[in-house]
Amino acid sequence: MNCIKCGGQMELGLIADIDHSTAHAQQWYAGAIKWSFWGGLSLSNRRSWYVRSMRCKKCGYLESYAS
C-alpha cells in the first residue's frame, strides 16, 4: 500500500494506550459519548473494533482503521 500524501511505502502497526506500565490496543466504539455515574465513559452494550494504523516510512503520515 502506498501513502496518499507522498507515495511512500506504508507499514502496518498500532497505537497503544499505556496505563500503569501496561499496553493496550486502542478500540473504536459505536455510538455517542455517554458518561457513567462514576465519571468514566459508559461502554456497555456497544460494538467495538480494534484500531490498526498504517504509517508511511517516508513522510510519517498515519492512517487508522477500525477492524
**Domains: count for the chain:** 1
Residue 2 placed within a domain = no
What is the number of alpha carbons within 13 Å of residue 49 lying toward its C-beta? 9
Supply the range of the domain harboring residue 35: 10-66
Closest by CA position to 48, among listed 22, 24, 66, 36: 66
Q: 34 and 41 in contact (C-beta within 8 Å)? A: yes
Residue 56 placed within a domain = yes
Residue 48 placed within a domain = yes
DSSP per-residue string spanning 16-66:
EEEETTEEEE-EEE-S---B-TTSSB--TT--EEEEEEEEETTT--EEEEE
Residue 50 placed within a domain = yes
pTM: 0.73
pLDDT in tens, the chain (67 residues): 999 999 999 999 999 988 888 999 999 999 998 898 888 899 889 999 999 999 999 999 999 999 8
Residue 59 placed within a domain = yes
